[in-house]
Amino acid sequence: MKPAPFAYTRARTLKEAIALIGKHRGDARLLAGGQSLIASLNMRLSAPDLLIDINGIKGLDRIAKKGKFVEIGALARHTAVERSKLIAQYAPLIARAMPHIGHPAIRNRGTFGGSIAFADPAAELPACLVALNGEIEIAGARGKRKVKADAFFKGLFETALKPREVLTAVRVPAADKATRVGFAELARRHGDYAMVGLAASARATAKGLTDVRLAFFGVGDKPVRAPKAENALTRGDVDGAVAALDLDPPDDVQATGAVKKHLAGVLLRRVAKQLMEGR
Ligand SMILES: Cc1cc2nc3c(=O)[nH]c(=O)nc-3n(C[C@H](O)[C@H](O)[C@H](O)COP(=O)(O)OP(=O)(O)OC[C@H]3O[C@@H](n4cnc5c(N)ncnc54)[C@H](O)[C@@H]3O)c2cc1C
């Protein structure tokens, strides 16, 4: 299928992008990597009358360590994040997740900010941000604001972003010696969106794990935490964590909810091992 007709313009600066989207009275969308947006236009799932291309905004693709945080600019391509030594050292959970996102052609164009703004409930990066207790920086006509990942993802493809705002960057705590991370997903074919996935972080102490954060994806309308399982893992009780998994995944085209819940338990055992052994 072909998209409905739309106008196209390019923003050269963040200020220009905010002004363009602010003054447009119809349905305008920002165009980043286009890997999700163009497909939805082609399938006529959406029909904006204006696309504002933000790819020319300089500096929005920066990946940097800022004090105790790692900042990833909205326009950082998945490939750049995947290959970044800084990400490998200071955001190892994100480094582990990257190869699971689609295929190289998609990762060459797709952007970190696009994935977070799109908020597919089966996507890896939203769950990583929730597991890392990250925050999202948003710019609009009234300036910048920050939203914690737990509050940013609101529902199916729904976020705290308002229609005339631009997601500019995400920030996650920089990993140190005590940081533990775990990641696993099950997909029918490598590169497909996950049937079920799990991103996790914790801190290692002499007594075991603390600050365990489990963020499942593909099991609900947004990344889903599992507080009872987190508490059980803090006690070192993996069987208890699996038994306490209070997920209620809906059936979808990939599997029934019951199958997904069983798979979530399988992934939890794998990820618990990674967290406990620090591998
Ligand atoms: C075949 C295929 C397989 C894929 N598999 C996976 C997968 O396994 N896992 C996965 O996570 N993803 C997958 N993707 C999606 C891919 O990761 C996309 O790159 C991502 O979802 C969107 O990023 P984008 O830069 O392409 O955004 P776009 O498609 O350009 O935009 C997506 C949406 O976000 C908005 N947006 C983009 N940037 C901003 C911003 N800075 N501020 C505010 N709003 C913004 C746009 O207006 C649009 O509504 C797949 C895509 C394809 C085509």
Our answer on whether the CB atom of 179 is closer than 6 Å to any ligand 1 atom is no
- Going by CA atoms, what residue is nearest to atom 21 of ligand 1? 115
Q: Residues with Cβ < 8 Å from 278, sequence gap 6 or more?
A: 180, 204
Q: What is the pLDDT of residue 254?
A: 87
Q: How far is the CA of 241 from the centre of ligand 1 (A)?
A: 33
Phi/psi of residue 92, nearest 5 degrees: -60, -25
- Going by CA atoms, what residue is nearest to atom 37 of ligand 1? 114
Q: Residues with Cβ < 8 Å from 263, sequence gap 6 or more?
A: 186, 195, 196, 255
Can you give the pLDDT of all 279 residues of the chain as single tens digits? 789 999 999 999 999 999 999 999 889 999 999 999 999 999 999 999 999 999 999 999 999 999 999 999 999 999 999 999 999 999 999 999 999 999 999 999 999 999 999 999 999 999 999 999 999 999 999 999 999 999 999 999 999 999 899 999 999 999 999 999 999 999 988 888 899 999 999 999 999 999 999 999 999 999 999 999 999 999 999 999 999 998 999 999 889 999 999 999 999 999 999 999 987
Q: What is the pLDDT of residue 233?
A: 97
With the most atoms of ligand 1 within 8 angstroms of its CB, the residue from 79, 106, 188 to mutate is: 106
Does residue 213 contact residue 130 with C-beta atoms inside 8 Å? yes
Q: What is the pLDDT of residue 154?
A: 98
What's this model's pTM, rounded to 2 decimal places? Answer: 0.97
Q: How far apart are CA 169 and CA 188, in angstroms?
A: 31
Our answer on whether the CB atom of 119 is closer than 6 Å to any ligand 1 atom is no
Q: How far is the CA of 73 from the centre of ligand 1 (A)?
A: 14
Alpha helices per DSSP H over 44-103? 78-83, 85-90, 92-97
Our answer on whether the CB atom of 111 is closer than 6 Å to any ligand 1 atom is yes
Q: What is the pLDDT of residue 109?
A: 97
Q: Which atom of ligand 1 is nearest to the CA of 74?
A: 41
| Vertex 121 angle, CA 83 and 154, to 5° | 115
